[in-house]
Structure 1
Amino acid sequence: MEWIMLVLIGIVAGTIGSLMGLGGGIIIVPALLLFSTMTNVFTEISPQVAVGTSLLIMIFTGLSSTLAYMKQKKIDYKSGFLFFIGSGPGALFGVWLNQGLDVDQFFIYFGLFVILTSFLLMIRHRLKPLPFKNKGFVRTYKNELGETVEYGFQPIVGILIAFVVGMTSGLFGIGGGSLMVPAMIVLFAFPPHVAVATSMFMILFSAILSSASHIALGNINYLYAAILIPGAWVGAQLGAAINARLKSDTLVFVFRLFLLFIGVRLIYQGWIG
């Protein structure tokens, strides 16, 4: 029964992570911490091992999602690589910070931040994207209505935000998409589908870098990872397929509700400690 639960956790994390560009770690980390205390079959794990294991799984979630979104031609590769310039070093810095992590405080503060992010997405139409046309990185995309949409960002701003995203990925094992996707949509005017696909592309490389550091530190439970990875791979393909069938506004609405749920759940978990 425990094995089946882990496979299902992997499927759910992969599906939601790929659908919304989160990476899935925001589900896997709390699930591992809770699951390891509820069963006699598997050993209890520390927050550091939960984070490291989550990041290893996200390599496969990111790869599976990226392959699916490549077929849909929704990934902005140039923006993704530019963001990785910031997220790569950020991921390594996050791994270093992770060693002294107070997990309960993190859950509360990060939960509050996620709820704030959900609110910003709700009022995003009233917010103006950061200027990017003068000396900025300008991109175009043809949306589902056949309209050509222009979006972009100042490279230094994008790299700095990506550094913070990478830091949260290495620190908390959550992938960083809960920060990167809203930033791309609200600040840089990315079309939601492109934001999600590009986020998963960037998460793939950040997860490789940060999980390698966690492997060196011994923060991996390979048994958990081996059971979770097949489900996460299948779920990532499923999430990308669902994403292709959602309209942009519907995708943002679902993403916003899910962030609200995550924020409340994180605060509750940190509060009960």
Structure 2
Amino acid sequence: MKAYVFPGQGAQFTGMGKDLYENSEIAREMFEKANEILGFRITDIMFEGTAEELKETKVTQPAVFLHSVILAKTLDNFTPEMVAGHSLGEFSALVANGTLAFEDALKLVSQRALAMQKACEIKPSTMAAVLGLEDAIVEQVCNEIDGVVVAANYNCPGQLVISGETTAVEKACEALKEAGAKRALILPVGGAFHSPMMEPAREELAAAIEATTFNQPICPVYQNVTAAAVNDPNEIKKNLILQLTAPVKWTQSVQQMIADGASLFTEVGPGKVLVGLIKKINKEAETHSA
């Protein structure tokens, strides 16, 4: 079975999508529509902007989403039998399987980015990558730290990202190194994504998601929150709302997709981060970058 996967924030690069714009009429139309919806020329920043300009959350999230969705639209024989996206990438996956219309998804992604930005400004918070420890040990150490710090991204075996209040994350990093982590390093992110610190953003986004039409998908989406195949539009909606404060179960999602018959994973979007993670989750998996 053909599985298509879509990257999240962090995959962006200067010049992303420029070749699509120049070589495809469909891509050009979609990019111009996006400029109109967002109210600024995101294409200028994507094609010519600095890394610093691209890193702004209100730019990054729509930029990665646009690159993924427009690339998928221009692929030959794009017939997904299962889809999944890492964090923000779940919105791209939901356009790919027909759950969300392109315009609706872009509006939600833009609102998500702004809501997350606001939530980040309420209290100092951050994320850290923990390498070389079992998930259960990382979870246990986080539970023992005073303050908010939780497992946020289960990326692949031996790579887990934690998220929470800055001081709690810093304390957890020290404790995790003592527990045998090869590395525990603070990431250059705007705040504590996929943690309780995102509750104000979740509430804000919930209203926007509730007001959006979710269609019957053409194939299941393996959602971050459940790591299971979901076909029901109401369940997809509910999981998408929970996603901001819940962990991204990427390892578990990929394992479940393989168990359900995924034979080829194609990453659609900027970079090759997910292809790398999938190979670490299962080295036998066949992967491809669109």
- Per the TM superposition, whether the score is higher than 0.5 is no
Structure number having the greater helix percentage:
1
TM-score (norm 2): 0.32
Q: Considering Cα pairs closer than 8 Å and 6+ residues apart, tell me whether 1 or 2 has the greater RCO.
A: 1
TM-score (norm 1): 0.33
Structure number having the greater strand percentage:
2
